[in-house]
Amino acid sequence: MNEYIINVGCRNDKRSIGLATRKGNYIENARKEERAPDAMRSAYEMFKKQHSSIEARSLSASYNCMGMVFASRRTNIDVERAIKLILKDDEYVQVVEIKNVQKGDIVVYYKDERPTHVGVVVNIEKIVGNASWDITILSQWGNDGEYFHNVSDVPVLYGTKIEYWTDRKNEYQ
């Protein structure tokens, strides 16, 4: 497949899909082809050695974390370029107190103050014994598969700083 050098993900890129924020701003994106099943299994095995608690949901390479969360698993969206636009235009509100995080909220990871990764909260439980929280995230790790994982158990390149965001329309408005 020929790679585009200029205008990757723009409206004229045949690999992009029509994708916009609620306010109508275009979201640059580019679909990728699937990788060979053996390559996907190898990626899973590598991650499983480093992150023993992960569970694979789907071993697909055609979308990234942003495509999973904001485009129904159909495309790749650059995290750093698009996350602020999407959060603003789609009226997400930051959830500051962990006790207010709910299933369906979004987690954004940062490394060196740059947004690197997103996922969806699929479970949250308070651990009374040590006054902490057990939070399970579902996210696509690059183009290497979609995994259930603990919020703090991600590849180091995603960083350790996290923020939670919600699009719920209740007490956060």
Q: What is the pLDDT of residues 107-131, one digit of tens each?
A: 999 999 999 999 999 999 999 888 8
The predicted pLDDT at position 1 comes to 43
Burial label, 14 (beta-carbon count in 10 A; 0-12, 13-18, 19+)? exposed
* Helix ranges restricted to H, the chain: 37-50, 65-70, 79-89
Query: If you average pLDDT over every residue of the chain, what do you get?
Result: 90
- The domains located in the chain, with CATH, are 37-166 (3.90.1720)
Q: Give the single-character DSSP code of 26.
A: B
Helix or strand holding residue 140 (H, E): strand 132-140
Distance CA 161, CA 158 (A): 9
Residue 145 and residue 59 in contact, taking contact as beta carbons nearer than 8 Å? yes
The predicted pLDDT at position 2 comes to 45
The predicted pLDDT at position 173 comes to 43
For residue 65, which amino acid is it? C
The predicted pLDDT at position 81 comes to 94
3-state secondary structure of 158: helix
The predicted pLDDT at position 14 comes to 63
Burial label, 85 (beta-carbon count in 10 A; 0-12, 13-18, 19+)? middle
The predicted pLDDT at position 4 comes to 43
Q: Which of 168, 129, 127, 166 is nearest to 150 (CA)?
A: 127
The predicted pLDDT at position 169 comes to 87
Distance CA 102, CA 121 (A): 7
| Residue where the block lists tokens 């329309």 | 169
Below-70 pLDDT ranges, the chain: 1-15, 171-173
The predicted pLDDT at position 57 comes to 97
3-state secondary structure of 157: helix
